[in-house]
């Protein structure tokens, strides 16, 4: 039982770390998960409240962190091609800027 409590505390601390690194409040995260108050997030971050896998997935997506981060496992660098396909809300200007940057990187690599 103590091991499970330690896991809850660890995961909660990683959630707090990721949330704070983005300058988000507990209330903002609670609203993103559909909780009525920040108290739920406070309890999760302290390890007092168990977290459902579905909620950990939502947190991972909302905080833009690989779920492995919250489990203390090594995170993979995001695949640029996958990341760009996943973001369907990019404006044409953003897409053009990204393509310009890619071309710059290719030119630098090839001399």
Convert the pLDDT of each residue in 44-97 to its tens digit.
999 999 999 999 999 999 998 889 999 988 756 556 666 666 566 777 787 778
Q: Is the pLDDT of residue 27 over 80?
A: yes
Residues 14 and 64 in one domain: yes
Same domain assignment for residues 103 and 57: no
Do 59 and 6 share a structural domain?
A: yes
What confidence score (pLDDT) does residue 14 get? Answer: 96
Burial (0-12, 13-18, 19+ Cβ within 10 Å), 35: middle
- Looking at the fold, whether 93 and 66 belong to one and the same domain comes out as no
pLDDT for res 96 = 78
Split into its structural domains, the chain has a count of 2
User: Is residue 67 domain-shared with residue 84, that is, in the same domain?
Assistant: no
Alpha-carbon distance of 74 to 63, in angstroms, equals 17
The predicted model scores a pTM of 0.65
**What's the whole-number average pLDDT of the chain?**
84
**11 contacts 71 by C-beta, under 8 angstroms:** yes
| Owning domain of residue 105 | 80-109
**CATH code where residue 11 lies:** 1.10.260.40
- Rounded distance, CA 9 to CA 37, Å? 20
Residues 59 and 9 in one domain: yes
């Amino acid at each position: 039982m103590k091991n499970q409590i330690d896991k809850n505390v660890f995961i909660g601390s990683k959630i707090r770390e990721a949330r704070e690194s983005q300058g988000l409040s507990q209330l903002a995260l609670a609203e993103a998960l559909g909780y009525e108050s920040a108290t739920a997030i406070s309890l999760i971050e302290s390890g007092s409240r168990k977290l459902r896998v579905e909620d950990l997935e939502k947190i991972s997506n909302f905080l833009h962190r690989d779920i492995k981060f919250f489990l203390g496992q090594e995170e993979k660098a995001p695949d640029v091609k996958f990341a760009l396909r996943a973001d369907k809300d990019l404006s044409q200007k953003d897409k053009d800027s990204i393509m310009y940057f890619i071309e710059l990187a290719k030119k630098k690599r090839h001399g």
